[in-house]
Amino acid sequence: MVTDRLLRTPRIVELRLRPIGAPMRYWPGQYVMLGDAEAGVPARSYSIANAPRPDGEVVLQVTRQGDGLTSAWVHERLQPGAGVKLSGPYGTFIGDPSVETPVLCMAAGSGLAPILALTEAALRRGYRDQVTLLFSGRATDDLYDAGLMAWWQARHRNFRYRPTLTGTPPAGWTGLVGRIPALLPTLFQDLARHSVFVAGSPQFVEDCLRAAKALGARSEFVHSEGFFPQYPPITPPPGQLLALSG
């Protein structure tokens, strides 16, 4: 059931969902499918934005995509108190808890969701190596969860949050300016020892991966989640079906 709904940026709604029955078991970084088949809303993938909790609460962060069917339904119609069906968990965008390396996370938009779950889980279990999170937005309004980032940074000396703006920064901005792939060589000399996690639009992920690999990031330590669009199942028009059966 939807227990809360918050507008996190002008384009991202956060849903908080609690199970009526047993909590779903999942690994941080995994995603679920959400939709409403009866209302004609196709099920789409959404990454879980929190590490597992005893009450089973699952947080999703959904970006409105132009004329997108499911994201419009989430933004316009889904309200607290509504019952929803999730399927899952799915996906292999998960960190190996036994690996101790410096970590570099890169995200843009709601690509932050699975990175939040992975980071929360790692910090909670006392991860000791350096964890750097680069988060890209066009304007400061896009950089949601800045308060949580400040708190993690104050509480965990090994966590570093580096926001960057791709648009014109406001007066007094002290963060980075520019796209992550272009900034990467100015921030890191060598990523050969790093575990790298990237999530966001397919183009963002591709550009970041290319930049990370150029700095020596090793394939076996590189994990990515591209938010590829999923089109509704294609049903042939009735005329075509008749022609096939005839």
Ligand X SMILES: Cc1cc2nc3c(=O)[nH]c(=O)nc-3n(C[C@H](O)[C@H](O)[C@H](O)COP(=O)(O)OP(=O)(O)OC[C@H]3O[C@@H](n4cnc5c(N)ncnc54)[C@H](O)[C@@H]3O)c2cc1C
Q: Using CB under 6 A, which of 26, 46, 127, 152 touches ligand X?
A: 46
Q: What residues between 47 and 86 interact with ligand X by CB under 6 A?
A: 47, 61-63, 65-71
**Cβ at position 92, least distance to ligand X in Å:** 10
Asked if 9 interacts with ligand X (CB under 6 A), we say no
Nearer to ligand X, 36 or 129 (CB): 36
**Cβ at position 133, least distance to ligand X in Å:** 16
Asked if 164 interacts with ligand X (CB under 6 A), we say no
Name the token pair of 33: 């499918």
**Cβ at position 119, least distance to ligand X in Å:** 15
What is the identity of the amino acid at 219?
A: S
Contacts 24+ apart (CB under 8 A), 177-181: 179/136, 179/207, 180/106, 180/108, 180/134, 180/136, 180/204, 180/207, 180/208, 180/211, 181/207, 181/208, 181/210, 181/211
CA angle 11, 113, 64 (to 5 degrees): 20
**Cβ at position 225, least distance to ligand X in Å:** 5
Asked if 87 interacts with ligand X (CB under 6 A), we say no
Name the token pair of 93: 């965008």
- Residue with structure tokens 């059931």? 1
Residues in the site for ligand X, rule: CB under 6 A? 31, 44-47, 61-63, 65-71, 91, 110, 113, 201, 225, 227-231
